[in-house]
Amino acid sequence: MGKRVLIIGLGLIGGSLALTIKKEHPDCEIVGFDLDEKARQLALSLQVIDRQTDDYKKEVASAHLIVVATPVQSAVSILSEFQHLTFQENCIVTDVGSTKKTIVDQGRLLEAAGVHFIGGHPMAGSHKSGVTGANERLFENAYYLLTPSKETSASKVIQLQNWLRGTGAKFIELNPDEHDHFVGMVSHLPHIIASLLVHQTGKLGQEFPVVSQLAAGGFRDITRIASASPSMWRDILLNNKSTLLEMLADWNSGMKQVEEMLKQENGEAIYEFFHEAKLLRDDLPVGKKGALMPFNDLYVDVPDHPGVISDVTGILANENISITNIQILETREDIMGVLRLTFRSKEDLTIGKGVLEDHMYDTYVTP
Ligand X SMILES: O=C(O)C(=O)Cc1ccc(O)cc1
Ligand Y SMILES: NC(=O)C1=CN([C@@H]2O[C@H](COP(=O)(O)OP(=O)(O)OC[C@H]3O[C@@H](n4cnc5c(N)ncnc54)[C@H](O)[C@@H]3O)[C@@H](O)[C@H]2O)C=CC1
Would you mind telling me the total number of residues written for the chain in this entry? 367
Size of interface with ligand X, in residues (CB under 6 A): 8
Q: Which positions from 173 through 202 interact with ligand X, judged by CB under 6 A?
A: 187
Q: Which positions from 86 through 115 interact with ligand X, judged by CB under 6 A?
A: 98
- The entry of ligand Y, ligand X, none near residue 170 (CB within 5 to 8 angstroms by kind) is none
Q: Which positions from 31 through 70 interact with ligand Y, judged by CB under 6 A?
A: 33-36, 39, 69-70
Cβ-closest position to ligand X? 98
**Least distance between ligand X and beta carbon 185 (Å):** 13
Q: Give the residue, chosen from 5, 93, 225, 300, that forms a contact with ligand X under the rule CB under 6 A.
A: 225
Which CA distances in Å does 270 have to 29, 141, 221, 249, 255? 59, 37, 24, 21, 12
Q: Give the residue, chosen from 98, 106, 342, 363, that forms a contact with ligand Y under the rule CB under 6 A.
A: 98
- The entry of ligand Y, ligand X, none near residue 70 (CB within 5 to 8 angstroms by kind) is ligand Y
Q: Give the 3-state secondary structure of residue 318.
A: helix
In eight-state DSSP terms, residue 165 is G
Beta strands in the chain (DSSP E): 4-8, 29-33, 51-52, 65-68, 92-95, 116-122, 143-147, 170-173, 296-301, 323-332, 335-343, 363-364
Q: Which is nearer to ligand X, 123 or 160 (CB)?
A: 123
Segment near ligand Y (CB under 6 A), from 7-15, 264-272, 338-346, 355-363? Answer: 7-15
**Least distance between ligand Y and beta carbon 124 (Å):** 6
Q: Which is nearer to ligand Y, 223 or 363 (CB)?
A: 223
What's the CA gap between 360 and 354, in Å, rounded? Answer: 10
Q: Is 127 in the site for ligand X (CB under 6 A)?
A: yes
Q: Residues 90, 25: contact at Cβ < 8 Å?
A: no
What's the CA gap between 181 and 166, in Å, rounded? Answer: 28
Residue 298 exposure: Cα atoms within 13 Å on the Cβ side: 28
Q: Give the residue, chosen from 232, 316, 323, 349, that forms a contact with ligand Y under the rule CB under 6 A.
A: 232
Q: Residues 97, 123: contact at Cβ < 8 Å?
A: no
Interface residues with ligand Y (CB under 6 A) are 8-14, 33-36, 39, 69-72, 74-75, 78, 96-98, 121-122, 125-126, 129-130, 229, 232, 236
Interface residues with ligand X (CB under 6 A) are 98, 123-127, 187, 225
